[in-house]
Structures are given as structure tokens and as C-alpha cells.
């Protein structure tokens, strides 16, 4: 794998990133402010989806509690920003807290060699316990520094400000730029990570853990690594989310949100990064549209979508679409190769 | 002295409660290696069965002890036929499909009964006095029911032909098929029975906790931890998991309040898993049921 | 690395190694030694304990009692990646390959573990040439035939440039031609490294003409050339007799 190979492999990543950049600079001129604010929330969720796409789709780690790191990031940001009186260091704190927690949890599960089904259930359980714990913190005695935890009402999140200038808050359209830039950067970062030696070992472990160990790779360390990194990315999503919504409540940790994250990745497809991102935007607008009526309950629709995909489209949309394209293109390309080879050898058959 | 008895009773009740909400999950996991993420919703359906039936004038004991397990058991069989049986051997997909089922059931119940708490029913059996302290007679009854349920499951596994066949099938599906035992039927019945036990638990708890479409979420975290800590043996696993985690939860809750109690429960479970990745019965009491 | 060792150096040693499963003694107090650059086959009827013994050497199983020493280092109870880290190449019985990745990537992941990017690329290309995998190098391994997958795995073993190679049934499920080629490859590897090969196929063992250790009921029954073992009465009774 040399530099040129990496660039070749990352070509689709750059294409999608470019589309993202174009969207980022045109959207505020085309769309209304209300839509832009809504979009910011969707972008935050897309970062969350991306983090799960990395750890599950490439690391093969069945994490049902990705939303825990997202929520933890949002809470850590909010509490730190209130205490520091500015957002610059709070963002860093958010990423550190979520990653540190993931590293600790990951140490226990990966070094205990817990099987993947257990892992899913444990991460989900951790998430639900966060939910019930933070809901209980409604009394005035529950404070961290200057921040009041607020129980099920949550905390109002201080908005982002310019770096090291706590006085100049960003306006919603600026938060949109920040969110979109963060999504694109995280996406390119993940796209790069999976082409590195580290990323490819992680994929190897996903494919066959014993083989990776027999080659001399300590699979536990690699799993811990990708788990921690993805938690950090989820935390970035959390920071954007509480900025988009304006507050953070324990509901972020509930079963519905945990399921939603899984559904984005299942629908978008495991083993791709762009699939889950696109699926997040699609399902975000579907659920908002459903929220406006009461005939079909959101849970009902998502449950049906999840069952439908698991039974009938287990690979998800993006891989299914690419498979279809490569199947169509392959015969043509092979024919082209034969023709070129024939020309080179000077053969004259038809 | 009275205080000690009252505290001990609360501890025992906590353990029994954990065992009661986990047993149905453990039956399905232990025998079929399927973790049913819709377990919480099966409990919720048991609760709704009791509430709807008593509101319709059915005797509360009939509703709790007969209708709740019957209704949820039948739902379990239907779910196994329509969903689970396509996914045997694909553990992750089973997990995901049952999660889909969980959402679907929450959605359905919300559409039918609304999102808020349905009419509550008060627990029967009044109050028992222990010296200066009092305990709920219904909680004592629940402890008794849990013990009876364990004995019933043990007897079913040990003494009946179904139990024998089920144990054989779980250990070696190919062998049982070769002997002419229909594996599919055993799986169907097992899933149905697990669901029925869960329905019974949900029905029994309805008077204590009330019912809500999303109430499943409050149970499942504890039920999962108990079953995973316990390991694959159904009765020994559930019992040891409940005693250990219920005990820790109870002691910490008594000393510092329920919030820390719950944290202690989780931390204990994760530490346990580091030491015994296959649960308590993965290391001890391996040959037990 | 290899210049420091001498031909009569013991590089693998087990001391009363035992592995029990419940009441079954799959491996029972085995004392075994392997010298540098040696090529040794482990044979024995099904259930003789040779595969269990193999798994104790590779760290896939942690023995109940006794010790394993690789190059005088105690590796009893070490993890597979730690054993591999000593420079040991391992191929398991069931082909263990990265099914979702290409042949190229499979071999690169092995080479890259111990070498810098540039050297790893060269080693990958070299290995692909050596194992004649050039035509299928971009194919996904999961789509290949069984024999080809075996070779990809052998390629991963070779690409790491090991000084000790442990192979569990390398010729299983191969065609006659592929088997002959594998035997050739094993002799080739043997010029650089010591090998332990678990094998069923007598024909194959004669092809690589090595010293043979015969396992029976968890113990070593005898150690000799294939020739001598074929002529031994006891050996014929426990093993060859089953086939004749």
C-alpha cells in the first residue's frame, strides 16, 4: 500500500466529500433558516452514524450503545462549557471524556474476550443505565461545578463560540457551517483510517480474529483502539447535537435512540461509511414527517424497517447498490481488457 | 431485630424480583442461544393483559396467573414462527430482528392504548407488620411465586418428556433430528414457554409498577445483566446472577440510595464479566440446569 | 537471525505437557523436542492428540499442565499473537484466511506485521510469485476454491519470513497436483526454517521425507523415519492397520 494506492482507494471518499463541501456552501443561500437549524441536528446524528459505521462496519464490533458516547460527549461539553465559560476547551473535554470511558469499558470487554452478542447487550445496558441514572439527578444537590444536572429536564447547552473568544457566539447558520465541516472532516478521517495499516488490520480482525492473532496482531488492542476512536467521533456528534437543539436531556440515552443508530447503519449498509450517513438524513426526514401525524407511530415504522432489512436486505442499501453496479459493469470491463490485450499482441481475430 | 428482618426481606424481594423478570429471558437464551431484545416488551404485554382483563371485569388472580402467561405465550409462538425461525444460527441478526420486534410492539401498543399510563390496579393482599416495620403482603407473595416458578421449570426440564427432549436438542440439534425429534417443534415450544413465563412476570408486576408502552426499557437492562452474569445454565445461572447482583444492588441501595445501587450493579456485572466471560455458570455449576 | 543458531540447537521443547478436557486426557505428559532446521511430521489416528498438542504449541489452547518452550522461552499459556511474535508461522487445520479481503491484502497483512511498508510490499509480491497466486491476486479469498485458500494461508505463513513453521494438515482437500506442489514448498521452506507438520496423508509424508512422531492415546508412541514406522508392528497396529 503506497501513497498512490491510498489515493486511489480514497477517490470515492474525496468525491463524496466534495459533494458535501458544495452542499455546505450553497445550502444557506437556498434553504430557509429553520431548515438549516433542523439540518444541523441531522448532521450531528450523521456523525453519530458515521462513528458506528466505523466501529461496527469496519471493526466488526457490535456496539449497541454508540449513543452512550454521543450523549456522554454532549453532557461533557455542556457541563465543561458552563464551567469554563467558553466552548473551545469544552469540545476537547467532550472528546476526551467519551474516549476515556470507551477505553475503560473496552478494556473490560475486549480483554475479557466477551463474544460479540454479549458485547451488544452490555453496551446497550450501559446506555440504559446512563438513562435512568441521569434522570434521577433532578434535585438541586446534583451539580458538577457550576452546572446543575437538571434530571429529566436536562441542561441548556451554551452555544459554540469563536476559538478562545468566549464572547463571540456563533449564529445558527455558522453552527451549520461548523457542523457540516466537522462531518466532512470526520468522514475523510474515517475514510483514510480504513486504508491505513491499523484500519486494515481491524478489517482483518473483523474477517477472522484467529488468523489476525496467528499473524502476530493482538486483536484486543486493535479492537480497543477503534472502539475508542469511534467513541471520540460520536462525542463530536454529541457536541454538535446539543448545539443544534440548544439543550441536552437524558432522553438521548433511551432505547429508541440506541435503536435508531443501529437502524441507520443497517439501512445504509455495514462496511461502508457513506451509506449510513445518507441513511441518517433519509430517515431523519422520514421520522420528522411521521412526527406530524398520529396514524403511524414512529416506533412501529422503525420496527418494521429494521425487521424488513434484517430479513430481506441484510447487507443494507449501499453495498446492494454497488454490487448491482459492479455486476453490470464487470462483463464490459473484462471485454475491454480482452480487446486491449488483443491489440497489444497484434492478434487479428474479430 | 425488626429492622434486620425488614431489611433482609427487602433484600430477598429485590433478588426475587430480578429472578422473576429474568427467568423467561434465561429460558430462551439457555436453550436456544437467542437473546430476545423484545423481552421487555413481552413483560409489558403481560402487564397490559392484566390491566385490560381486570378492567373488563375478570378476577385479578385469573388475569395475572392464567391470562397473562397464556396471551404472551401465544404471541411468543407466533413470533417464533414468523420471525425467529428464519434466523437460527445467525445470532447477531436474531438480536437485531428482536430489537425490531421490540420497537414494533411499543409502536402497536402506543397506537392502541396511547402513550401514557393505563388505568392502574392496586396490589392485593395489603400490608404485613414486622414489629414496628411493615412490608407489602403482595411482595411476599411475589417471592413465593418466584420460588414456585423455579421449581416448576426445574420439574419440567428434569421430569417431563418435553424437558428431556429440549435438553437433548439444545445440546446437539443434529443428533435429535436423527432420532426423529422435530427440532423446530422443540424450539417453537421453548420460545412459547419462555414468553409465557415472561408474560406471567409482567402480569404479576403490573400492580406494582403500573403499565406503559415503554416500560420494558426499565426492566431489560437488569434482566440482561442478570442473565449474562449468570451464564448459560437457566436456573442456576438466573439464581446465582440474581443473588449476586440483587444482593449488591440491595446492599448499596440500603447504604447510599438507589442511584448508587444501580451503578454498583453495573460495575459488579462488568467486573464479573472480565473475570468470567462466560458468566458464573460458565465457570461454576457447569453441569447444572 | 538464523546464523546465531546451530543445527543441533533445541528450538521447541515440551516438558510433560498435558491437556485434559473434563476427564479426557487428550494430551498426556508429552515430552517432545525439535531441533533447528528440522522437519518433523506428527501422525496418529483420529483422537490421538496430535491436533490438541499442536494447538497447545500455537497458543490456541492453554495446557492443563506441563510446559512449552520455544527457543528456551517459556511460552506455556501464551496468546497466539505472542507465539507468532517470536517469529513462528502458523497454519491451522480449517483454512483461516480473511475471506472478505483480496489475496493481495491477505498476504500484505502478514508481511506488514514485521516489516516496513516498502519491504512488506516487496515481500508480498515475492510471496505471490513464489506460490503462483499471480492470476488470482485481486480476487476475494472467500470466492476461491478450497485448495487455493489453503495456499493463500500458506502464503501468509511464508510472507512473515518465519524461522519456525507449524502446519496443521496443509494438504487436506488438495488435488494430487496441489499436494505435490505443497510438498515441494515445504521442502523449500525447510532450507530456512524448522517445521512441524501434522498430517494424515502417508503419501504426502513420504514426499517430504521427514522424521515422524507417532501419537497414540495422547502420548508419543515412537519417533523415527516414515520407513521405520511403516515397518514397525506396534505402529501398524495402532495406525496403519486401520487403513490396510
Inform me whether the C-beta atom of residue A218 falls under 8 Å from chain C C-beta atoms: yes
Give the model confidence (pLDDT) of B205-226 as tens digits. 988 888 888 888 888 888 988 8
- pLDDT at residue A32 greater than cutoff 60: yes
Average pLDDT rounded to a whole number, residues A256-275: 92
Q: Which residues from A are below 8 Å from B231, CB to CB?
A: none
- pLDDT at residue C97 greater than cutoff 80: yes
Site from A107, A112, A134, A135 to mutate, B interface, most B CB atoms within 10 angstroms: A112
Select the residue of A1, A203, A210 nearest C96 (Cβ to Cβ): A210
**Burial class of A180 by CB neighbour count within 10 A (0 to 12, 13 to 18, 19+):** buried
Q: For residue B32, what is its C-alpha cell?
A: 436456544
Residue C41 backbone dihedrals phi, psi, to 5 degrees: -105, 140
pLDDT at C242: 52
Q: Measure the CA–CA gap between B139 and A147, rounded to whole angstroms.
A: 40
Q: Measure the CA–CA gap between A280 and A268, rounded to whole angstroms.
A: 8
Q: Which residues from A are below 8 Å from C79, CB to CB?
A: 213, 218
Does a structural domain hold residue A14?
A: no
Contact A91, A239 (CB under 8 A): yes
Residue A220's closest chain C neighbor by CA? Answer: C81
Q: Measure the CA–CA gap between B89 and B75, rounded to whole angstroms.
A: 22
By three-state DSSP, how is residue C8 classified?
coil
Average pLDDT rounded to a whole number, residues B137-165: 86
Residue C7's pLDDT band (cuts 50, 70, 90): low
Give the model confidence (pLDDT) of B41-74 as tens digits. 999 999 999 998 988 888 888 888 999 999 999 9
Instruction: Count Cα neighbours of B170 within 13 Å in the Cβ-side half-sphere.
Output: 24
DSSP string across A154-217: -EEPPPPEETTEEEEEPPHHHHHHHHHHHHHHHHHHHHHHTTSHHHHHHHHHHH-HHHHHHTT-
Inform me whether the C-beta atom of residue A3 falls under 8 Å from chain C C-beta atoms: no
Residue B176 structural domain = 2-214
Q: Measure the CA–CA gap between B201 and B238, rounded to whole angstroms.
A: 14
Residue A294's pLDDT band (cuts 50, 70, 90): low
Does a structural domain hold residue A325?
A: no
Q: For residue B69, what is its C-alpha cell?
A: 402467561
Q: For residue C63, what is its C-alpha cell?
A: 495446557
Q: How many CB pairs lie under 8 A apart between chains A and B? A: 131
Pick from A12, A15, A27, A43: which is nearest to A280 by CA?
Answer: A43
Average pLDDT rounded to a whole number, residues A149-174: 83
To the nearest whole angstrom, how far is the Cα of B277 from the nearest Cα of chain A?
A: 6
- pLDDT at residue C237 greater than cutoff 70: yes
Q: Which of A52-56, C102-106, C129-133 has the lowest average pLDDT?
A: C129-133
Beta bridge partners of C164: C88, C194
Domain boundary assignment for chain C: 2-87+162-243, 95-161
Q: Which residues from A are below 8 Å from B263, CB to CB?
A: 129, 133
Question: How far does Cα B218 stand from its chain's mean position?
Answer: 13
- Beta strand spans in B64-132 (E): 127-130
Question: How far does Cα A73 stand from its chain's mean position?
Answer: 13
Average pLDDT rounded to a whole number, residues B245-271: 82
pLDDT, averaged across chain A: 87
Question: How far does Cα B270 stand from its chain's mean position?
Answer: 20
Grid cell 437488569 is found at B222
Query: What percent of chain C is predicted at pLDDT more than 90?
Result: 10
**Burial class of B209 by CB neighbour count within 10 A (0 to 12, 13 to 18, 19+):** middle
Q: Measure the CA–CA gap between A207 and B28, rounded to whole angstroms.
A: 29
Q: Which chains touch A (3 or more CB pairs under 8 A)?
A: B, C
- pLDDT at residue A88 greater than cutoff 90: no
* A207–C113 CB contact, under 8 Å: no
Inform me whether the C-beta atom of residue B104 falls under 8 Å from chain A C-beta atoms: yes
Residue A24 structural domain = 20-312
Does a structural domain hold residue B73?
A: yes
Q: Measure the CA–CA gap between C233 and C60, rounded to whole angstroms.
A: 34
Select the residue of B35, B102, B275 nearest A117 (Cβ to Cβ): B35
* C84–A206 CB contact, under 8 Å: no
* A299–B104 CB contact, under 8 Å: yes
Q: Measure the CA–CA gap between C158 and C148, rounded to whole angstroms.
A: 15
pLDDT at B185: 79
Pick from B2, B23, B1, B13: which is nearest to B253 by CA?
Answer: B13
In angstroms, the first-to-last Cα distance of chain C is 45
Q: How many CB pairs lie under 8 A apart between chains A and C? A: 67
pLDDT at A105: 92
To the nearest whole angstrom, how far is the Cα of B212 from the nearest Cα of chain A?
A: 14
Contact C194, C38 (CB under 8 A): yes
pLDDT at B277: 74
Question: How far does Cα A159 stand from its chain's mean position?
Answer: 22
Residue A334's pLDDT band (cuts 50, 70, 90): low
Number of domains in chain A: 1
Q: For residue B216, what is its C-alpha cell?
A: 420494558
Please give the C-alpha separations between residue C149 and each of B45, C66, C95, C167, C206, in angstroms, as whole numbers.
Answer: 50, 35, 7, 14, 24
Q: Quote the Cα angle for A77-A81-A82, to 5°.
A: 120
Average pLDDT rounded to a whole number, residues A215-242: 95
Residue C37 gets which letter from DSSP?
T
Does a structural domain hold residue A343?
A: no
Q: For residue A178, what is its C-alpha cell?
A: 461548523
Number of domains in chain B: 1
Which of the two residues, C44 and A192, has the higher pLDDT score? A192
Instruction: Count Cα neighbours of A144 within 13 Å in the Cβ-side half-sphere.
Output: 16
- pLDDT at residue C102 greater than cutoff 70: yes
Residue A138 backbone dihedrals phi, psi, to 5 degrees: -90, -15
C2-87+162-243 falls under which CATH superfamily?
A: P-loop containing nucleotide triphosphate hydrolases (3.40.50.300)
What contacts A311, CB < 8 A, 6 or more positions away? Answer: B83, B86, B87, B97
Inform me whether the C-beta atom of residue C97 falls under 8 Å from chain A C-beta atoms: yes
pLDDT at A332: 54
Contact A16, A187 (CB under 8 A): yes
Residue C166's closest chain A neighbor by CA? Answer: A214
Does a structural domain hold residue B148?
A: yes
Does a structural domain hold residue A55?
A: yes
- pLDDT at residue B178 greater than cutoff 70: no
Residue C35 gets which letter from DSSP?
E
Which of the two residues, B189 and C242, has the higher pLDDT score? B189
Angle, helices B39-55/B91-113, rounded to nearest 10 degrees: 30
- pLDDT at residue B171 greater than cutoff 70: no
Residue C244's pLDDT band (cuts 50, 70, 90): very low
By three-state DSSP, how is residue C34 classified?
strand
Q: Which residues from C are below 8 Å from A207, CB to CB?
A: 98-101
To the nearest whole angstrom, how far is the Cα of A256 from the nearest Cα of chain C?
A: 32
Beta bridge partners of A162: A165
pLDDT at A66: 95
Average pLDDT rounded to a whole number, residues B261-283: 79
Average pLDDT rounded to a whole number, residues A176-205: 94
Select the residue of C85, C97, C98 nearest A216 (Cβ to Cβ): C85
pLDDT at A102: 96
Helix (H) / strand (E) element for C39: namely: strand C39-43
Phi-psi label, residue A268: left if phi above 0, alpha if psi -120 to 50, beta otherwise? alpha
Average pLDDT rounded to a whole number, residues B69-85: 93
Q: Which of A221-230, A286-295, C10-19, C90-99 has the lowest average pLDDT?
A: A286-295
Q: Which of A102-111, A162-171, C186-195 has the lowest average pLDDT?
A: A162-171
pLDDT, averaged across chain C: 85
Q: Measure the CA–CA gap between A136 and A134, rounded to whole angstroms.
A: 5
Please give the C-alpha separations between residue A300 and each of A285, A287, B107, B109, C181, in angstroms, as whole numbers.
Answer: 16, 11, 4, 9, 59
- pLDDT at residue B267 greater than cutoff 80: yes
Select the residue of C117, C121, C156 nearest A215 (Cβ to Cβ): C156
Q: Which residues from B are below 8 Å from A60, CB to CB?
A: none
Give the model confidence (pLDDT) of B121-143 as tens digits. 777 777 766 666 677 788 888 89
Please give the C-alpha separations between residue B35 and each of A124, B92, B223, in angstroms, as whole numbers.
Answer: 13, 9, 11
Q: For residue B233, what is its C-alpha cell?
A: 445454565
pLDDT at A168: 78
Q: Which residues from A are below 8 Å from B262, CB to CB?
A: 129, 132-133
Query: What percent of chain B is predicted at pLDDT more than 70?
Result: 87
pLDDT at B119: 66
pLDDT at B112: 87
Residue C108's pLDDT band (cuts 50, 70, 90): very high
Which of the two residues, A297 and A71, has the higher pLDDT score? A71
Please give the C-alpha separations between residue C41 and each of A3, C35, C60, C195, in angstroms, as whole numbers.
Answer: 44, 13, 19, 8
Q: Which of A106-115, A311-320, B118-127, B252-261 has the lowest average pLDDT?
A: B118-127
Residue B125 gets which letter from DSSP?
S
Q: Measure the CA–CA gap between B106 and B213, rounded to whole angstroms.
A: 5
Q: Which of A197-206, A275-284, C193-202 has the lowest average pLDDT?
A: C193-202
Does a structural domain hold residue A318?
A: no
Amino acid at each position: 500500500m503506497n501513497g498512490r494506492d491510498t489515493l486511489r482507494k480514497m477517490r470515492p471518499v474525496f468525491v463524496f466529500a466534495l459533494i458535501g463541501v458544495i452542499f455546505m456552501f450553497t445550502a444557506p443561500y437556498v434553504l430557509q433558516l429553520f431548515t438549516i437549524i433542523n439540518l444541523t441536528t441531522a448532521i450531528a446524528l450523521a456523525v453519530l452514524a458515521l462513528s458506528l459505521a466505523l466501529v461496527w462496519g469496519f471493526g466488526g464490533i457490535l456496539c449497541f450503545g454508540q449513543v452512550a458516547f454521543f450523549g456522554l460527549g454532549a453532557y461533557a461539553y455542556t457541563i465543561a462549557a458552563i464551567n469554563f465559560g467558553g466552548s473551545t476547551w469544552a469540545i476537547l473535554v467532550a472528546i476526551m471524556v467519551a474516549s476515556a470511558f470507551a477505553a475503560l469499558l473496552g478494556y473490560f470487554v475486549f480483554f475479557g474476550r466477551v463474544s460479540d452478542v454479549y458485547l451488544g447487550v452490555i453496551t446497550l445496558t450501559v446506555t440504559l443505565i446512563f438513562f435512568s441514572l441521569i434522570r434521577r439527578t433532578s434535585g438541586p444537590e446534583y451539580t458538577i461545578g457550576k452546572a446543575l444536572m437538571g434530571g429529566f429536564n436536562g441542561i441548556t447547552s451554551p452555544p459554540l463560540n469563536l476559538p478562545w473568544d468566549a464572547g463571540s457566539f456563533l449564529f445558527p447558520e455558522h453552527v451549520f457551517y461548523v457542523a457540516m465541516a466537522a462531518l466532512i472532516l470526520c468522514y475523510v478521517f474515517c475514510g483514510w483510517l480504513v486504508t491505513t495499516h491499523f484500519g486494515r488490520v481491524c478489517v482483518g480482525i473483523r474477517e477472522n480474529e484467529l488468523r489476525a492473532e496467528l499473524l502476530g496482531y493482538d486483536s484486543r488492542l486493535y479492537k480497543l483502539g477503534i472502539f475508542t476512536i469511534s467513541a471520540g467521533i460520536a462525542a463530536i456528534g454529541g457536541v454538535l447535537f446539543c448545539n443544534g437543539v440548544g439543550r441536552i436531556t437524558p432522553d438521548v440515552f433511551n432505547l429508541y435512540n440506541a435503536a435508531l443508530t443501529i437502524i441507520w447503519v443497517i439501512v445504509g449498509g455495514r462496511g461502508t461509511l457513506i451509506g449510513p450517513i445518507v441513511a441518517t438524513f433519509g430517515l431523519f426526514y422520514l421520522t420528522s414527517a411521521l412526527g406530524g401525524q398520529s396514524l403511524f407511530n414512529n416506533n412501529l415504522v422503525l420496527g418494521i424497517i429494521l425487521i424488513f432489512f434484517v430479513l430481506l436486505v441484510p447487507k443494507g442499501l449501499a453495498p446492494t447498490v454497488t454490487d448491482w453496479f459492479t455486476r453490470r459493469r464487470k462483463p464490459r470491463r473484462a471485454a475491454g481488457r480482452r480487446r486491449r490485450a488483443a491489440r497489444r499482441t497484434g492478434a487479428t481475430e474479430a | 431485630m425488626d429492622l434486620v428482618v425488614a431489611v433482609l426481606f427487602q433484600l430477598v424481594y429485590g433478588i426475587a424480583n430480578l429472578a422473576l423478570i429474568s427467568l423467561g429471558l434465561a429460558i430462551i437464551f439457555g436453550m436456544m442461544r437467542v437473546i430476545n431484545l423484545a423481552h421487555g416488551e413481552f413483560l409489558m404485554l403481560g402487564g397490559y393483559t392484566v390491566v385490560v382483563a381486570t378492567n373488563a371485569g375478570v378476577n385479578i388472580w385469573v388475569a395475572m396467573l392464567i391470562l397473562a402467561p397464556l396471551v404472551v405465550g401465544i404471541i411468543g409462538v407466533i413470533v417464533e414462527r414468523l420471525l425467529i425461525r428464519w434466523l437460527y444460527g445467525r445470532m447477531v441478526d436474531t438480536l437485531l430482528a428482536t430489537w425490531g420486534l421490540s420497537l414494533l410492539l411499543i409502536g402497536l401498543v402506543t397506537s392502541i392504548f396511547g402513550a401514557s399510563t393505563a388505568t392502574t390496579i392496586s396490589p392485593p393482599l395489603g400490608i404485613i407488620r414486622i414489629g414496628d416495620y411493615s412490608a407489602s403482603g403482595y411482595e411476599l407473595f411475589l417471592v413465593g411465586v418466584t420460588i414456585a416458578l423455579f421449581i416448576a421449570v426445574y420439574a419440567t426440564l428434569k421430569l417431563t418428556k418435553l424437558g428431556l427432549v429440549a435438553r437433548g436438542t439444545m445440546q446437539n440439534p443434529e443428533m435429535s433430528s436423527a432420532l426423529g425429534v422435530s427440532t423446530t417443534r422443540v424450539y417453537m415450544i421453548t420460545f412459547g414457554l419462555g414468553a409465557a413465563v415472561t408474560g406471567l412476570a409482567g402480569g404479576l408486576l403490573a400492580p406494582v409498577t403500573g403499565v406503559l408502552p415503554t416500560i420494558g426499557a426499565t426492566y431489560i437492562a437488569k434482566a440482561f445483566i442478570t442473565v449474562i452474569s449468570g451464564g448459560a445454565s437457566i436456573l442456576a445461572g438466573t439464581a446465582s446472577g440474581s443473588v449476586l447482583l440483587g444482593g449488591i444492588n440491595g446492599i448499596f441501595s440500603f447504604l447510599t440510595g438507589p442511584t448508587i445501587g444501580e451503578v454498583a450493579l453495573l460495575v459488579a456485572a462488568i467486573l464479573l464479566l472480565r473475570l468470567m466471560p462466560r458468566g458464573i455458570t460458565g465457570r461454576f455449576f457447569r453441569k447444572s440446569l | 537471525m538464523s546464523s546465531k543458531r546451530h543445527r543441533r540447537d533445541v528450538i521447541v521443547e515440551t516438558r510433560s505437557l498435558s491437556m485434559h478436557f473434563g476427564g479426557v486426557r487428550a494430551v498426556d505428559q508429552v515430552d517432545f523436542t525439535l531441533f533447528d532446521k528440522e522437519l518433523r511430521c506428527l501422525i496418529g489416528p483420529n483422537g490421538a492428540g496430535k491436533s490438541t498438542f499442536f494447538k497447545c504449541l500455537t497458543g490456541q489452547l492453554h495446557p492443563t499442565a506441563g510446559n512449552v518452550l520455544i527457543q528456551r522461552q517459556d511460552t506455556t499459556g501464551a496468546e497466539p499473537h505472542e507465539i507468532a511474535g517470536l517469529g513462528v508461522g502458523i497454519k491451522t487445520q480449517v483454512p483461516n484466511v480473511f475471506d472478505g479481503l483480496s489475496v493481495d491484502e491477505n498476504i500484505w497483512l502478514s508481511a506488514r506485521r514485521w516489516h516496513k511498508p516498502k519491504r512488506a510490499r516487496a515481500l508480498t509480491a515475492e510471496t505471490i510469485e513464489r506460490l503462483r497466486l499471480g492470476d488470482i491476486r485481486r480476487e476475494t479469498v472467500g470466492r476461491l476454491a478450497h485448495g487455493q485458500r489453503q495456499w493463500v494461508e500458506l502464503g501468509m505463513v511464508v510472507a512473515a519470513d518465519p524461522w519456525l513453521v507449524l502446519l496443521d494438515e496443509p494438504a487436506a482437500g488438495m488435488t494430487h497436483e496441489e499436494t505435490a506442489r505443497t510438498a515441494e514448498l515445504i521442502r523449500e521452506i525447510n532450507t530456512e526454517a524448522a517445521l512441524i507438520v501434522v498430517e494424515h496423508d502417508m503419501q504426502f509424508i513420504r514426499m517430504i521425507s521427514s522424521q515422524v512422531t507417532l501419537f497414540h492415546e495422547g502420548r508419543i508412541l515412537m519417533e523415527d523415519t516414515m520407513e521405520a514406522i511403516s515397518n514397525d508392528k506396534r505402529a501398524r497396529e495402532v495406525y496403519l492397520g486401520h487403513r490396510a
